[in-house]
Amino acid sequence: MPVPVGYEVEQQIRLTLHRYCETIDTADFEGFAALFERGRWFMVSEPGSQPVRDWLDERIVLYDGHSYTRHEISNLSVRPTDSPDEAVFNCYVTIWQDLPGQPPNLLAHAQFDGSFERSGDTWWWSTHGMTVQYAGDLSGHIKGGLG
């Protein structure tokens, strides 16, 4: 029987998701990659932070060091599993880009899902997936798009 997920666990996972948004939006690629030190991000096939960092350096479009994106998380649900050291989540993400001199552009709307594992007092990202429901013109954000 699943062990209930407490408020503190849900809050730590929520803060990690907010850190995801903050680091990608501020082009803090080192900080973003560190989120996946013990897990796998959906855009790369290998686990760990270095493959994530390499992908970001190669594929994210920057404008004088800025991405001008805004990733917004909503409708977060954190659920227990049979293990007290694992939790699964899903939420929506909406991605905007505000390039100087242009109106805000909706890049994508998607659902994130994945899992976190606890080690000591820290919850680490284990798996991360994304199901795209809408994708606009991503050429100003990701070289080559999502594919």
Per-residue pLDDT of the chain (147 residues; tens, 9 = 90+): 565 678 888 999 999 999 999 999 999 999 999 999 999 999 999 999 999 999 999 999 999 999 999 999 999 999 989 998 999 999 999 999 999 999 999 999 999 999 999 999 999 999 999 999 999 999 999 998 765
CA angle (111, 46, 81) in 5-degree steps: 50
Identify the DSSP state of 77: E
Q: Please name each of the domains of the chain with its CATH number.
A: 7-135 (3.10.450.50)
Across the strands, what pairs with 116? 87, 125
Question: Which residues make beta-bridge pairs with 115?
Answer: 88, 127
0.95 surpassed by pTM: no
